[in-house]
């Protein structure tokens, strides 16, 4: 097992203030305060289902809307994932998960290979959970993908309840990222790349 895979990221702008700590090899404990109750709920699910330890203290210009807060938390979470993974040696790197939530089903695929790319197909049905609308959810994951330098593909296969669709995605992302970041003893500490190089 490599050194403890934990990262703390802070970000302060004229719009938000965010402090986030992520432990890759955690137990799914979380303490999350973003000012957006729906985002707190979904990030708690991500933490629990991915077995990541996650603390977030965020303050933003919510009197306008939730955009800047959600965006900057996505930026910080992506940066924390990249920093916590360090040189990426020994990790499985890729994983995918199909995650149900009642009538909704989402398929999430990740590749922690040093290249940021985001694709969402079969978008959410229109709607929101509190101030968290579906376009913000898409933008949140887009920020994570580019800041973490990972490929992230989200396919919302079906569902008739927007809350359930979003919940399926957050749980599935946690589970897929957990699987991709596991240490594979067969690699014996090598990089999971024929290039022998991953941007970190």
Give pLDDT tens digits for 31-83: 999 999 999 999 999 999 999 999 999 999 999 999 999 999 999 999 999 99
CA–CA gap between residue 60 and residue 102 (Å, rounded): 33
CA–CA gap between residue 80 and residue 72 (Å, rounded): 12
Q: Which two tokens stand for residue 177?
A: 């990222």
Burial class (CB in 10 A: 0-12, 13-18, 19+), 170: buried
Provide the pLDDT confidence category of residue 160 given band limits of 50, 70 and 90: very high
Does some domain include residue 1?
A: no
The reported pLDDT for the residue numbered 170 is: 99
CA–CA gap between residue 198 and residue 200 (Å, rounded): 6
Does some domain include residue 149?
A: yes
What pLDDT digit, counting tens, does each position of 129-155 carry? 998 999 999 999 999 999 999 999 999
What is the reported pTM? 0.94
Does some domain include residue 118?
A: yes
DSSP for residue 124:
P
Q: Check which CATH number belongs to the domain holding 146 and give it.
A: 3.30.230.40
The boundaries of the domain holding residue 115 are: 6-187
Provide the pLDDT confidence category of residue 1 given band limits of 50, 70 and 90: very low
CA-to-CA dists, residue 156 to 75, 78, 118, 121, 161, angstroms: 22, 21, 14, 7, 12
Count of the separate structural domains present in the chain? 1
> Which among 138, 17, 140, 33 has a CA at the least distance from the CA of 78?
140
Q: Which residue bears the tokens 């109750």?
A: 37
pLDDT, average across residues 95-104: 98
CA–CA gap between residue 113 and residue 74 (Å, rounded): 19
Does some domain include residue 159?
A: yes
The better pLDDT of the pair 71, 91 is held by 71
């Amino acid at each position: 097992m490599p050194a403890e895979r934990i990262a703390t990221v802070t970000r302060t702008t004229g719009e938000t203030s965010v402090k986030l700590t992520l432990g890759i090899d955690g137990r799914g404990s979380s303490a999350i305060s973003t000012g957006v109750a729906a985002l707190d709920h979904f990030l708690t699910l991500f933490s629990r289902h991915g077995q990541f330890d996650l603390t977030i203290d965020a303050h933003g210009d919510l009197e306008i809307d939730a955009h800047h807060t959600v965006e900057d938390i996505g930026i910080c979470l992506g940066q924390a994932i990249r920093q916590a993974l360090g040189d990426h040696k020994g990790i499985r790197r890729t994983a995918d998960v199909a995650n149900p939530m009642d009538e909704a089903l989402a398929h999430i695929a990740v590749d922690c290979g040093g290249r940021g790319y985001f694709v969402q197909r079969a978008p959410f049905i229109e709607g929101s959970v509190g101030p968290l609308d579906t376009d913000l959810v898409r933008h949140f994951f887009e920020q994570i993908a580019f800041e973490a330098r990972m490929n992230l593909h989200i396919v919302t296969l079906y569902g008739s309840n927007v809350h359930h669709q979003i919940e399926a995605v957050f749980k599935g992302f946690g589970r897929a990222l957990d699987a991709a970041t596991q240490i594979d003893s067969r690699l014996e500490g090598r990089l999971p790349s024929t290039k022998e190089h991953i941007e970190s």
